[in-house]
Amino acid sequence: MYASEIVAVGMAVPDRIVTNDDLSKLMDTNDEWITQRSGIRERRWVDAQTTTSDLALRAAERAIAAAGIKKEDIELIVMATLSPDHDFPGTGCFLQAKLGLAGCATLDIRQACSGFLYGLSVADQFIKTGMYKTVLLVGAEVHSKGLDVSTRGRDVAVLFGDGAGAAILKRTDATNSSRVLSTHLHAEGAHAQELWLPGPGMNLGAERVSRAMLDEGLIYPKMNGKKVFAHAIRRMAEVLMEGLAANNTKLEDIDLFLFHQANLRINEMLAQELKIPPEKVFNTIHKYGNTTAATIPIGMSEAVAAGKLKKGMLVASAAFGSGFTWASALYRW
């Protein structure tokens, strides 16, 4: 019987720091509004030349080096992003080429903020069935090029940042204590338009992209913030408890919680509701904003670097996002 172990992680963020004050020069917003409602103080933005696969490459190279594997050992690249280099092919293909690899399988995951946990589940299943021994899993986003940074888009634009995180998963024996214990995945497509990117798209009339679409700002993400907020807390709590129950584990047994970073208030309310001590929740949102598919592997990387995530620890992750989709994972580091 096989299981998968997360043997190493890596992350990459652009050098350019964009503070809340910087944003207030572009749109009608201010540091107090953003900090109070989201906990975000700054985020990173790429330069004009950098793409999602570039950030993914940097994170992947760091994870590969930390794992001490040869890149040729990778049999599958699972790439989670909602900000692909191009509509097709998947960003995993561009990443594979930039890594100098050919032949291994690539698979893109489009489950937005739940993308990394969906990807973790996919990687875990491929390893458990014996199909692959080594998988590269990446979550990466370049949001800054796709945000409406005028006052019209301020409710969304202030929340998101650019970044990437990567993990190497390797086959291990199912009796190894360090392993992915379980993943749980859900979606409710009836809410797809509560947090989405309307255009360009095939569902907007005769043309995939039109001048009217650009003028109306349909090429920018739209969000029903209050609805997302309420559903996020409910669904993350539910799916976290589902994971614990499946493993006959209690909340007190968890050493560290690495939640998706959408909004500090979501994670604070979640912890409060479940009576999780705040010191067990590792947050990075104040520095990076919401990097969507990258938040959890960035959290893993920073927690390892800070000495907060150590070998043998029992970790729980949960995420919620566009779709709506939500997911959890329980793993021993």
Subset of residues 88 to 117 that bind ligand ACO, contact rule: CB under 6 A: 112-113
Q: Which stretch binds ligand ACO (CB under 6 A): 89-97, 127-135, 224-232, 248-256?
A: 224-232
Nearest C-alpha neighbor of 113 from the set 228, 203, 22, 255? 228
Which range binds ligand ACO by CB under 6 A, 93-101, 177-185, 237-245, 261-269? 261-269
Write the CA distances from 183 to 116, 125, 164, 245, integer angstroms: 11, 10, 21, 12
Q: Which is nearer to ligand ACO, 32 or 252 (CB)?
A: 32
Stretch of 49-57, 220-228, 274-282, 300-308 lying at the interface with ligand ACO (CB under 6 A): 220-228
**Which of the stretches 61-69, 204-212, 225-233, 281-289 binds ligand ACO when contact is defined by CB under 6 A?**
225-233
The region that residue 124 occupies, defined by phi over 0 for left and psi between -120 and 50 for alpha, beta otherwise, is alpha
**Residue 281 gets which letter from DSSP?**
B
- Can you spell out the DSSP letters for 74-105? --EEEEE-SS-SSSSS-HHHHHHHHTT--SSE
* Smallest distance from ligand ACO to CB 154, Å: 4
Query: How many residues form the binding site for ligand ACO (CB under 6 A)?
Result: 24
236 near ligand ACO (CB under 6 A): no
- Contact between 262 and ligand ACO by CB under 6 A: the answer reads yes
**What one-letter code names the amino acid at 118?**
Y
Q: Is 292 in the site for ligand ACO (CB under 6 A)?
A: yes
For residue 5, what is the enclosing H or E element?
Answer: strand 2-12
Cross-sheet strand order for the sheet of 163-173: 2-12, 163-173, 134-141, 76-80, 105-109
Q: Is 321 in the site for ligand ACO (CB under 6 A)?
A: yes
Asked whether position 225 contacts ligand ACO by CB under 6 A, the answer is: yes
> Strand 76-80 and strand 105-109: pairing?
parallel
Q: Which amino acid is at 2?
A: Y
Among 226, 250, 275, 311, binds ligand ACO (CB under 6 A): 226
Nearest distance from C-beta of residue 311 to ligand ACO, angstroms: 30
Site for ligand ACO in 181-210 (CB under 6 A): 195
Q: Which of 20, 93, 104, 113 is catalytic?
A: 113
Window 6-45: residues binding ligand ACO (CB under 6 A): 29, 33-34, 37-38
Sign of CA dihedral 329, 39, 283, 167: positive
Quote the radius of gyration of the chain (alpha carbons, Å): 19
For the chain, what percentages of helix, strand and coil (3-state, to nearest 5) are there?
40, 25, 35
CA gap 311, 309 in Å, rounded? 7
Tell me the closest approach of the beta carbon of residue 69 to ligand ACO, in angstroms.
Answer: 31
Distances (CA, A) of 56 to 31, 37, 115: 30, 29, 14
Is position 260 annotated as part of the catalytic site? yes
Q: Based on the shown chain and the rule CB under 6 A, indicate whether residue 50 belongs to the binding site for ligand ACO.
A: no
**Residue 61 CB, nearest approach to ligand ACO (Å):** 26
The residue from 93, 184, 260, 267 that is catalytic is 260
Choose the binding region for ligand ACO from 94-102, 123-131, 152-160, 247-255 (rule: CB under 6 A): 152-160
| 231 counts as catalytic | no
113 classed as catalytic:
yes
Q: Which residues bind ligand ACO (CB under 6 A)?
A: 29, 33-34, 37-38, 112-113, 154-155, 158-159, 195, 223, 225-226, 228-229, 262-263, 266, 290, 292, 321-322
Q: List residues with catalytic annotation.
A: 113, 260, 290
